[in-house]
Amino acid sequence: MLIEGYASLFGVPDASGDVVRAGAFARSLQRGTQLPMLLQHRPGAMVGRWVRMIEDGRGLYVRGLVEGVAARSLVAQGLSGLSIGFRPRLWNARRPDGRELVEVDLVEVSLVTSPMQARARFSLLGAEAKAA
């Protein structure tokens, strides 16, 4: 099951008030390390693999293959949220709350029910999208 979407959007506050600045993922992406695709940020709950991850003018674009049977079922039932697991490296405080994230270390990108960034969503690609 091939999916694509935005795991993070630049300049858009999430539910905690954090805003990611363009370029925040550059260092992590340059490492070329394969990041895990998890379900609901649960350690060890690998449900597939990311095949593409880039920053563009909008945010952190991801494309991946959902391979776990249970996860494929959840996606077929409407699961569509994305969420990043990260460690902040460089950030500035925002008023009244949250942070401006200038640089982060990506740890994982999860398929989630309720993303912190409400517009961080994915959709199905190809034949499976037409069948759904």
Q: Encode pLDDT of 37-75 as tens digits.
A: 999 999 999 999 999 999 999 999 999 999 989 999 999
Q: Give the CATH number, domain containing residue 41.
A: 3.20.16.10
Q: What angle do CA 19, 12, 103 make, to 5 degrees?
A: 30
Burial label for 81, CB within 10 Å (0-12, 13-18, 19+), is: buried
Q: In this structure, what DSSP letter does residue 108 have?
A: E
Q: What is the domain range of residue 81?
A: 2-124
Model confidence at 130: pLDDT above 60: no
* Mean residue pLDDT across the chain: 94
What CA–CA distance (Å, rounded) separates 113 from 103? 26
Three-class secondary structure assignment of 52-102:
EEEECCCEEEEEEEECCHHHHHHHHCCCCEEEEEEEEEEEEECCCCCEEEE
Q: Is residue 97 part of a domain?
A: yes
In this structure, is residue 99 part of a structural domain? yes
Assigned domain for 110 exists:
yes
Residue 131 lies in a domain: no
Question: Over the stretch 64-117, which tens digit does the pLDDT of each residue have?
Answer: 999 989 999 999 999 999 999 999 999 999 888 899 999 999 999 999 999 999
Residue 103 lies in a domain: yes
Whether 132 maps to a domain, the answer reads: no
Is residue 129 a part of any domain in this protein?
no
Predicted structure pTM score: 0.92
| Number of compact structural domains in the chain | 1
For 2, residues 6+ apart whose C-beta sits below 8 A from its C-beta are 63, 64, 65, 66, 124, 125, 126, 128
pLDDT tens figures, 6-26: 999 999 999 999 999 999 999
Task: Establish if 54 belongs to a structural domain.
Answer: yes
